[in-house]
Amino acid sequence: MYKIAVIPGDGTGGEVVREGLKVLEAAAQACGFRYDTTTYDFGGDRYLRTGETLPDSALEELRGFDAIYLGAIGHPDVPPGPLEVGILLRARFGLDQYINLRPVKLYPNVDCPLKDKGPEDIDFVVVRENTEGLYSGMGGVQYKGTPQEVSTQIHCTTRFGAERAIRYAFELTRKRNKMKQLHLVAKTNVLTYVHDTWWRAFCEVGDADYPEIRREYAHVDACCMWFVKNPEWFDVIVVDNMFGDIITDLGAMIQGGMGVAAGGNINPQGVSMFEPIGGSAPKYTGQNVICPMAAIAAAQMMLDVIGEEEAADRVEKAMIKALGSGKIKSLAAGRMGMSTSEVGDLVASLV
């Protein structure tokens, strides 16, 4: 019996999570496992009402679950910062979800904006470090609002943090057994301290424990270029938090957009959290027009990580069949030719 915490969050989060849960239920019935969900109302509305983001008690409670399933965080009436930092980053850091795993996989029949590239060219995984770097929250502001204002935001890198992400990525590369190739994406020519730590960890860990894995390196700007020009060059990528944030939005676009891109915030020793990587899409809220495929893909990753691999496999095949059915016209919000719930029904019926 799995215990799953559900945080629908803001905007269209609830609409897509509902469809993901529908598919989860179909998978449970097909594969014969059981689970129990507990829903939490953390998000912009609760924050506006009570000033609360993710209270200490909730963080402690979340540790008791097998997985967390999250919709989206971000509210039009809340300025940037408090919700993202107070809920999303707090969960990631507080639960030590040190890997943000983001597959970039183009499924058949999904529109790709790249000319002459198809599913055989776009199938890689980004391993984004998820607890350090520019996201650490270190730094501050002095003399705010005066001409002398000074602010810093520190790129906090630890050898420990870089190395555990790198080790995870090497293991994943081995497990995928595809090109047996791991890219480090960084900016060693400019970030000569922090990315030198990454570079040495990458080489030392690779030499010592993963001699069969080919190591490649790309500067982050060049990586953006290759994503568009030669995405087939990538197998697994390991990258720091900030650059990982940026390149995975680009990755999402080449796999068909935010309608299909999912991610897992992974603590291999603890509780992990799965989410569609797009935002809360306030302008589509309540219209039942947003694509739930990313949330379904997040549920699929969740199944895989909790150990229900067969169920995960069925869900992925169901997504592929649904996309191949020709019934879904586009993955863009409002242009699917179907409603959010109809897409969920379709995938669930194919599991």
- Interaction site with Mg ion (CB under 5 A): 245
Q: 145: which residues sit within 8 A by CB, 6+ positions away? A: none
135, 168, 235, 240: the catalytic one is 135
Active site residue 209: no
Q: Which one, 300 or 336, has the nearer CB to ligand IPM? A: 300
Q: 338: which residues sit within 8 A by CB, 6+ positions away? A: 327, 328, 329, 346
Please state the closest distance from residue 204 (CB atom) to ligand IPM, in A.
28
Tell which positions 257-316 bind ligand IPM, by CB under 6 A.
Answer: 277
Q: Which does 88 bind (CB under 5 to 8 A by kind): ligand IPM, Mg ion, none?
A: ligand IPM
3, 249, 317, 329: the catalytic one is 249
Q: In the chain, count of helices (H) and strands (E)?
A: 12, 12
Q: Which one, 245 or 308, has the nearer CB to Mg ion? A: 245
Q: Which does 84 bind (CB under 5 to 8 A by kind): ligand IPM, Mg ion, none?
A: ligand IPM
Longest CA span, the chain:
65
40, 187, 210, 240: the catalytic one is 187
Spatial contact of 40 and 6, defined as CB atoms under 8 Å apart: yes
Q: Which one, 267 or 328, has the nearer CB to ligand IPM? A: 267
Please state the closest distance from residue 51 (CB atom) to Mg ion, in A.
25
**DSSP state letters, 186-246:** E-TTT-TTHHHHHHHHHHHHHHHH-TTSEEEEEEHHHHHHHHHH-GGG-SEEEE-HHHHHH
Please state the closest distance from residue 207 (CB atom) to Mg ion, in A.
32
Active site residue 36: no
The region that residue 205 occupies, defined by phi over 0 for left and psi between -120 and 50 for alpha, beta otherwise, is alpha
Active site residue 35: no
Query: Rule CB under 6 A: is residue 72 a binding residue for ligand IPM?
Result: no
Contact residue for ligand IPM among 25, 45, 66, 84 (CB under 6 A): 84
77, 111, 207, 221: the catalytic one is 221
Spatial contact of 126 and 164, defined as CB atoms under 8 Å apart: no
Q: 276: which residues sit within 8 A by CB, 6+ positions away? A: 16, 71, 72, 258, 261, 262, 263, 294, 295, 297, 298
Selection from 272, 285, 258 nearest residue 9 by Cα: 285
Query: Rule CB under 6 A: is residue 88 a binding residue for ligand IPM?
Result: yes
Please state the closest distance from residue 244 (CB atom) to Mg ion, in A.
9
Question: What DSSP character marks residue 136?
Answer: G
Q: How many residues make up the chain in this entry?
A: 351
* Number of residues binding to ligand IPM, judged by CB under 6 A: 4
Q: Which one, 206 or 264, has the nearer CB to ligand IPM? A: 264
The CA distance from 134 to 195, in Å, is 12
| CB-nearest residue to ligand IPM | 84
Q: Which one, 88 or 311, has the nearer CB to ligand IPM? A: 88
User: How far is CA 158 from its chain centroid?
Assistant: 22
Q: Which one, 102 or 195, has the nearer CB to ligand IPM? A: 102
Tell which positions 230-249 bind ligand IPM, by CB under 6 A.
Answer: 245
Active site residue 41: no
Active site residue 121: no
Interaction site with ligand IPM (CB under 6 A) = 84, 88, 245, 277
Give me the active site residues, please. Answer: 135, 187, 221, 245, 249
